[in-house]
Amino acid sequence: MEAKKVKTDNNTVTRDLRNFDLETQNIYQSVVIASKRANQIALEMKEELNSKLSEFATSTDNLEEVFENREQIEIARHYEQLPKPTLVAISEFLNDKIYSRIPERD
């Protein structure tokens, strides 16, 4: 997944809004593009996390038998420390790594 490789801040950064509409000439279209990309990244991360955690799932789980698996905890902590999908999407958008097109203009 690309989100792991992207070097971006893990916390909130104040951004200059004038940089967002350079490509689209419309701030609202830029926000929509970044939000759609953030949704894609979040879905990829969720699928990847679920596939890793499904390796630890057993069919005999019930409420009394909850085992704390150290590997599961480490995987969860790793994903918690990754930058949020919105931060990754904004970073990609500002660095021109997102391709977008508007059908009306084409």
* pLDDT tens profile 34-72: 999 999 999 999 999 999 888 877 666 555 555 667 888
* Confidence tier at 73 by pLDDT (50, 70, 90): confident
pTM of the complete model:
0.80
Specify if 6 maps to a domain. no
- Other C-beta atoms lying within 10 Å of the C-beta of residue 92: 20
Expressed as residue numbers, the domain containing 33 is 19-55+67-97
35 neighbors 24 (Cβ within 8 angstroms): no
4: tokens are: 């792991």
Specify if 83 maps to a domain. yes
Greater pLDDT, 9 or 100:
100
Q: CA 43, 69, 53 angle in degrees (round to 5)?
A: 20
Specify if 1 maps to a domain. no
Q: What is the pLDDT of residue 54?
A: 85
Specify if 105 maps to a domain. no
Number of domains the chain is built from: 1
Specify if 80 maps to a domain. yes
Specify if 47 maps to a domain. yes
3-state secondary structure of 7: coil
